[in-house]
Amino acid sequence: LFAAEPQALLSLAQRTPRRGQGVKMADLKAGLVANDKLASMAVSKERAGLTSAQAAQKMEEFGPNEIPAVETPIWKIILSQFVGAMPIMLEISCIISALAGDWPDFFVILAMVVVNALLGFREEMKAKNALLELTNQMESTITCVRDGTPNTIGVTQLVPGDVIHLRGGSLTPADVEWMEGDVLSIDTAALTGEPLPRKYPSDEYGKLILSGTTVKQGEAYCIIRATGINTEIGAGQADIMADRATASVSVFEQKVMMVVNIVISIAVLDAILIVVVQGLLRGGWDTNFKGTLLTALSILIGAVPIALPLVLQVTMAIGAYRMATKHHAIVTRMSALQDIASMDVLCSDKTGTLTTARMSINLDMIWAAKDDVIDLIDPYAYRSQDRVAYQKQLLLVMGIMGSNADKKDDAIDGAVLRAFDLMKKEQGDAPATMKEGYKQLDLTGFNPEVKRTVATVQRLYDSKKLIVAKGLASKILDTSSGGQDSGALQWKCEECETEGFAEMVNKKDAELSAAGYKTLAVAVGIEGEKMHFLGLLPMIDPPRFDTAITVQRLMEAGVEVKMITGDHLNIAIETARLVGMATNILPGEMTREGGHTGDEIIKESGGFAQVLPRDKRECVLALQRSYNLVVGMTGDGVNDAPALSAAQCGIAVEDATDAAKNAAAMILTTEGLSAVFGAVVESRKIFARLFSYVSYRLAATIQILLYLSILIYAFDCSLDPLYVILLALFNDVTMIPVAEDNQLAAAEPQHAELGHLIGFSMTLGIFQSVASLVFYLSMDMGLVKGIESHLDAGWPKSVHAQNAIWLQVSIAAEFLIFSARAPGLFFFSMPSHELLISTMLGNVISTLLAIYAFDDPLDWDEAITIWIFDIAALFAVDIAKMAYKYINSADAAGIIDEDEIAREDQQLGEKPHNEGEPVAPKDHAGSIRKQRESVKLIGQMKNRGASVKSQRGASMKFLTHGQQRQTSIRSRSAVIGNKTHTRAAGPSQKFGDLRKRTPGSVIYQK
C-alpha cells in the first residue's frame, strides 16, 4: 500500500495544520479517519515490512530519521569575529598606527583585536557544541522487520514504510500507525501535557501515534509513517536547531551595540573632519603628517568601548553562578540573564509546572448519590452518627476494592490509593476498619472499549460476593450506554429506574467536568443481583503549594502570566482559577487563525488548552513579532521544546525531558515557578549592573570624544594616543567588579530603551565634558603649576598640561561610575566593596603614573588639587543626573523588596511533605494549611505595601531610589467574541476550593 499510495499517506499523516491556513481540528481528525481507511486496504502486505532495497530507496528519498545538522566551518566562525563595527574600528586603528610608525600603540591595539575575537569565538563554539548535543539525542535501537525478518537497527535508519515492534517502556521513534497486537497504553504527557495515558487504537484517538510518546503497556506492530523533521516533534526540533545555530544575543545587548555603532559612526566622521581641519586648514600634512594621523587615531580609539564585551561576559558569568547557587536556575544561554529582566509575558505549561503532575482526589467533593444504598452494601451503616461521612468512606473503600493495590504509579489507581491513605490519616481508624470487612478476589483491568474495571469482592461477615465496578459514569450507570460493548458483565443500575436519577448523575458529572475535574463513578451489587450506583470520585492535578503566591508576585512585578497547555480546556480553566490567573483560556485551534486576528486573540487571551507543539511556538512568536514583547516560556515536555527554543527566556523546569533542556536557555533545579520569580529578581539586578556600566561607558566615551574634539578644534591641543589607550584600559579594567555591585531589582520589566539609554548617557557625558572643560580653562589660574596665562602664551598644549588633562579625565571617569550606578543621589547608594576598592585603586595608580612615570610629571599638590576638583564635579554631575531623571523618568516604578519577600517566605514555611496528595476535608491538614497561608499572604502583601507607601515620603524615595510610583499592573481583562473575561477574583463558591483558600474578597482586596 505504501508503495502504491505514498503521497496520499504522507499528505494525511505527515502534515500538521499550519498557521495561516485556516485548518481546524475537525479537518485534522477527518484526515486521520481517512488515513485509517486507506491503511486498512492492505494491512497484510504492509505487515511484512520493507525489503532492504526498498529501505535504501526510501533512505535516499526521505533521509535518515534524524535532525540534519547545520554545519558552519570553523574558519568562517573565526573570520566572522573580525567583522563588525568594533573590530573594524580597532583594525583601522592598527593600520593608522602602522602608517604613523607608532608601534607601541599598534601592538596594544592588535592585542585588543585578538582578545575580542577570542571572546566571540568562544561563544560561537558553545552554540555549536549545544547543536551537536541536540542532534545526538535520538540515538537508540529498535526491532524492525526488514526482508520479512525482525532485526535490531538504529532508529536513525528507520524510513517510512518500516514495520517496528513497540512494547512497554519503548519510546516512539517516529510518527507510527498501529497495525496489530495489543491495545497500547501510550503516555503522551511529554507531548500533550495530559497526565492520563491514551489508548491506541481507539475511536477517540485513532491509530496514529506521534513521535516522542512512551509506551506504558502492551505490545504491537506499527508502521512508520513519518520520520525525522517530517514528524510533528521533528519539525519542532528543526526549529530549535535553527534557533541554536548561532550564538544568541540578548535584546539588551542588541540595543547596546546599536548605540555603540552610532557613537563609532560619529567618531569616524569626527576623525575625518579632524584630518581635514588639522591636515588642510592648519597645514598638518606638510609640517606634521604623523601627528595628524595620531590625532585622528586618538579619536577613533576613544570611541571604541574596548572592554565592553569582556565586562559583559564577566558580569553575566557571575550572574549565572548566583542564579545556580541562590535561585536553583542553571543558565545555558547567557543572553537569558538579560532577557528575563525584560520579560513582559511568561507562557507557562500547566502539568508539572503550575501543578504537581499527580492526579489527586478531592475528598471534600466526593459525591455520594443515594443514602439508602449504603444499608444494602454495609449492614453496619446504621451505627454511623454521620451518614454523609460514612457514605464517602464507603464510596472510597469500594473504589479501593475496584483498584489494583500494586499499581501505585498508575494515574487512576494510584490516585485512589493515595486518597484512601490520606482519609485514614485524617479520619482515624474508621476507613481502615471498614476496608478490613472486604477482600478482593479477582479484578478485570481497565479496557478502553468497556471503559471500566470490574472486581469480585467478598464481604467477610457473611461471605457474600459483591461486584464492584469503577470507571466512566455513563458506563457505570448503564453498560449499554453508547452501544453494547464486549464486557463479560452487563448491567443497568437499579437507581436508573427512578425518574430523573440518571439525569441528576450526568448533570453532576458535567458540573464537575466543567470545573476541571475528571470523575470516577463507582457501583456495587451483590453477585447475581442488581447493581447500585454509589457516587462520583472527583480527580484533579492540584496546583503546587506555592504556585498562587508566585503567580501573584510575578504579576506584581509586571509580568503577565499565560497558561499554554496540551491538557483539556476545562481543566486548564479550573487550574487558572485556583492559582489566580486569567480564566479566559481558549481552545488551541484558535492559535491557527492566522493574521492580525489570530495574533490579537493570542495577546488578549489568558492562555490556550489542547494545543499542539507548533501552537505553543506560534503563541510565543506572535507575541514577539506583532507586539515586540520579550516572552518567557516554561515547560518540561517534548511538546514544550519548540516554544522554549523560540522564546527569549526558555525555562525548562525540574525533571524536564532532555528535549526541553536542550531547547531551553535556563534549567530549573527545583520544583514549580518560585525559582522563576527568583530568577526575575536576580536578572533585574544583573540588568541594573549592566545598565549602570553601559551608561557609564557610553558617557565616558562621549566625554572623551566631545572633550578631545573641543580641545582640537578650539584650542589646537591634541592628546597623545597612548594617553587615550591607557584611559580606556584603566577605566574598563577597574569596572569589572561592577558584576558584584550592590543593586536593587526594579518592580517592572526592564527594557533597554534606546532613547533613555542615549539620553541618560549623554547627560552624564556632556556634564562631565563641561567639568573637564572648566578644568582646562582654569589650568592657567593656579590649578596646574608651570602653566602661563593663555593671554600671554596661548592655550596650554605642553606635555605637563597633557599629564594634568589625562589625570583629571581619568579620575573623573572613575568617579562617574558612582553616579551612573545609583538610582538616586550617589551617596545614598553604597557600592560593593569590590567596586569601591577597584575604583579607588585605579585612581591611585593613575595618580602615581602622572607623578612618577610620565615625562614632565605632576607633583603631589597638583594631584591633590585635581582630586578635589573631580570630587566637586561628581556632585555637580549627580545633580544634573537627578534633574534628568526628574524630567524624563520620575514616574518609574518602585523596587522589589527582597527583605519583605524573605519574611513572607519564612512565614509560608517549607513545602508540605504531602504536596500532591489528595486534599483532606479538615483545615489542619499540612498541605491545606500551607496552601491557604500562601493565599493569605497575597492579601497581607497588599496591606503592608499600602502602609509602607503612607510611611515613606515621595521626595525622599526619589532622592534615594530615583523612583516615585508603584508598579503599574496592566489589565488582565480581554474581550473575545463580545464577551469580557477577567482574572478570577477567587475560588468558585459553587464547588468550594481544592486548597481551602480564603474568600476571593480577602485575597484580592483593593
Pick 10 or 774 by higher pLDDT. Answer: 774
**Cell numbers found for residue 860:** 603631589
**In this model, does residue 952 exceed pLDDT 80?**
no
- On the CB side of 784, CA atoms within 13 Å amount to 30
Which stretches of 40-143 are DSSP H helices? 43-47, 52-62, 74-80, 85-100, 103-135
Using alpha carbons, list the distances in angstroms from residue 628 to 408, 591, 599, 759, 791: 47, 18, 12, 22, 58
**In this model, does residue 378 exceed pLDDT 90?**
no
Pick 729 or 785 by higher pLDDT. Answer: 785
Using alpha carbons, list the distances in angstroms from residue 465 to 439, 455, 534: 9, 10, 17
Q: CB within 8 A of 422, min separation 6: which ones?
A: 363, 914, 917, 918, 920
**In this model, does residue 429 exceed pLDDT 50?**
yes
Per-residue pLDDT, 341: 87
**In this model, does residue 434 exceed pLDDT 50?**
yes
Q: How confident is the model at residue 914 (pLDDT cuts 50, 70, 90)?
A: very low
Per-residue pLDDT, 638: 66
**In this model, does residue 393 exceed pLDDT 50?**
yes
Q: In the predicted model, what is the mean pLDDT of residues 115-144?
A: 63
Known catalytic membership, residue 349: yes
Over pLDDT 90: what percentage of the chain? 19
Per-residue pLDDT, 989: 29
- Residue-wise pLDDT tens digits, 45-89: 677 889 999 999 999 988 888 766 556 677 777 777 777 666 777
Q: In the predicted model, what is the mean pLDDT of residues 909-913?
A: 53
**In this model, does residue 928 exceed pLDDT 50?**
no
- Residue-wise pLDDT tens digits, 848-857: 999 998 888 8
Phi, psi of 70 (to 5 degrees): -100, 105
Instruction: Choose among 831, 933, 822: nearest CA to 879.
Output: 822
Which of these ranges, 226-235, 469-478, 874-883, 911-920, has the smallest mean pLDDT?
911-920
**In this model, does residue 902 exceed pLDDT 60?**
yes
Per-residue pLDDT, 286: 59
**In this model, does residue 135 exceed pLDDT 50?**
no
Q: In the predicted model, what is the mean pLDDT of residues 508-526?
A: 88
Average per-residue pLDDT in the chain?
76
**In this model, does residue 213 exceed pLDDT 80?**
yes
Which residue is it, cell 573565526?
78
* Most confident of the following: 241-245, 535-539, 609-613: 535-539
Q: How confident is the model at residue 865 (pLDDT cuts 50, 70, 90)?
A: very high
Check if the beta carbon of residue 199 is closer than 8 Å to that of residue 184: yes
Alpha-carbon distance 52 to 916, whole Å?
A: 51
Q: How confident is the model at residue 937 (pLDDT cuts 50, 70, 90)?
A: very low
296 — alpha (psi -120 to 50), left (phi > 0) or beta?
alpha
Which residue is it, cell 497486537?
181
**In this model, does residue 99 exceed pLDDT 50?**
yes
Check if the beta carbon of residue 141 is closer than 8 Å to that of residue 152: yes
Over pLDDT 70: what percentage of the chain? 76
Which residue is it, cell 487512576?
412
Check if the beta carbon of residue 988 is closer than 8 Å to that of residue 515: yes
Instruction: Choose among 416, 195, 357, 418: nearest CA to 917.
Output: 418
Instruction: Choose among 452, 456, 512, 437: nearest CA to 486.
Output: 452
- Residue-wise pLDDT tens digits, 616-647: 888 999 998 888 888 999 877 666 777 888 88
Pick 295 or 574 by higher pLDDT. Answer: 574
Pick 922 or 736 by higher pLDDT. Answer: 736
Check if the beta carbon of residue 240 is closer than 8 Å to that of residue 662: yes
Using alpha carbons, list the distances in angstroms from residue 990 to 536, 540, 921, 951, 994: 17, 17, 16, 40, 12
Per-residue pLDDT, 258: 80
Q: In the predicted model, what is the mean pLDDT of residues 311-334?
A: 78
Q: CB within 8 A of 819, min separation 6: which ones?
A: 764, 826, 874, 877, 878, 881
Check if the beta carbon of residue 210 is closer than 8 Å to that of residue 191: yes
Per-residue pLDDT, 43: 46
Which amino acid, 31? G
Per-residue pLDDT, 870: 94
Check if the beta carbon of residue 210 is closer than 8 Å to that of residue 233: yes
Q: How confident is the model at residue 134 (pLDDT cuts 50, 70, 90)?
A: very low
- Residue-wise pLDDT tens digits, 152-188: 888 889 999 999 998 876 788 899 999 988 889 888 8
Q: What is the DSSP string of 248-307?
A: ---HHHHHHHHHHHHHHHHHHHHHHHHHIIIIIIS-HHHH-HHHHHHHHHHHHHHHS-TT
Which stretches of 794-911 are DSSP H helices? 799-821, 833-848, 860-888, 898-908
Given 102, 339, 349, 599, which residue is catalytic?
A: 349
- Residue-wise pLDDT tens digits, 966-993: 554 443 333 333 333 333 333 332 333 3
Alpha-carbon distance 513 to 564, whole Å?
A: 19
What is the reported pTM? 0.66
Q: What is the DSSP string of 25-36?
A: HHHHHHHHHHHH
Which of these ranges, 106-115, 164-173, 226-235, has the smallest mean pLDDT?
106-115
Per-residue pLDDT, 244: 53
Per-residue pLDDT, 946: 42
Alpha-carbon distance 478 to 476, whole Å?
A: 6
Q: CB within 8 A of 289, min separation 6: which ones?
A: none
